[in-house]
Amino acid sequence: MSFKPLALATFLTLVLLGMVSDFPKDVYLIAQGQHLMQSTSINLNHNDLSQPLVLTIKALNGANIKGEIYLNGQVIKTLQGNTTEVNLSNYLSRGNYGILITGMYYPSQSSVSITLDGNGTQVSQQTGKTGLLKQQINLEVQ
User: Contact, 101 vs 88, CB < 8 A?
Assistant: no
| Exposure letters 79-94 (e unless 16+ CB within 10 A, then b) | beebebebebbebbee
pLDDT digits (tens, 9 = 90+) for 34-88: 446 777 888 999 998 999 999 999 999 889 999 999 999 999 999 999 999 999 9
User: Contact, 42 vs 138, CB < 8 A?
Assistant: yes
* Interatomic CA distance for residues 39 and 108, integer angstroms: 21
Structure confidence at residue 5 (pLDDT): 53
**Domain range annotation of the chain:** 36-141
Chain centroid offset of residue 104 CA:
8
Chain centroid offset of residue 12 CA:
24
For residue 139, give the nearest of 21, 29, 33, 44 by alpha carbon.
44
Confidence of residue 4 (pLDDT cuts 50, 70, 90): low
What does the pLDDT average to over 127-131? 84
Q: What is the pTM of this model?
A: 0.73
Question: Is the pLDDT higher at 89 or at 120?
Answer: 89
Structure confidence at residue 24 (pLDDT): 42
Confidence of residue 114 (pLDDT cuts 50, 70, 90): very high
User: Contact, 139 vs 99, CB < 8 A?
Assistant: yes
What does the pLDDT average to over 101-112? 91
* Interatomic CA distance for residues 56 and 82, integer angstroms: 10
Predicted confidence (pLDDT) at residue 136 exceeds the cutoff of 80: yes
Structure confidence at residue 100 (pLDDT): 95
Structure confidence at residue 83 (pLDDT): 95
Give the HSE-up count for residue 23: Cα atoms under 13 Å, Cβ half-sphere: 29
Give the H or E element holding residue 4.
Answer: helix 3-20
* Interatomic CA distance for residues 6 and 18, integer angstroms: 18
Structure confidence at residue 23 (pLDDT): 43
